Amino acid sequence: MTAAIAPSALNWATLKPYLPLLVALWIAEVTGSFEAAMILAAMRPLLQDFGDPVAIGWLISTFGIVGAASASCPATFSPRVRSGLSRVRAR
């Protein structure tokens, strides 16, 4: 069994380089949960439009896959982000 680390024993200065990454991941998670809530709220109109629950399942799956793929695009195309990540890896 792993012992829990007390908050006072954590060295917060070592987490400082990772703070922008953690904030970006937190924002992405909040946005993703909001998008999932919007999809669930739209189930009845989607069922009326498509008329097939299987088509709605494919639509929701596609929405999730496109969202996951597009989340990685800014890190891929931004040299500023790439240089920041390379500094974090070098430590």
Higher pLDDT: 10 or 13? It is: 13
Is 35 among the domain residues? yes
Q: How far apart are CA 63 and CA 57, in angstroms?
A: 10
Strands (E), 4-90: none
- Token pair listed for 83: 């240089």
Hunting for tokens 């896959």 — which residue is that?
Answer: 65
Q: pLDDT at residue 91 above 80?
A: no
% of the chain residues with pLDDT over 90: 11
Higher pLDDT: 60 or 2? It is: 60
Exposure letters 11-23 (e unless 16+ CB within 10 A, then b): eeeeeeeeeeeee
Domain of 85 in residue numbering reads as 16-90
Quote the number of domains for the chain. Answer: 1
Is 6 among the domain residues? no
Average predicted confidence (pLDDT) for the chain? 77
Terminal Cα distance for the chain, rounded: 29
Is 11 among the domain residues? no
pTM: predicted TM-score of the whole model, two decimal places = 0.49
pLDDT in tens, 34-76: 888 888 899 899 899 989 999 998 988 888 888 777 767 666 6
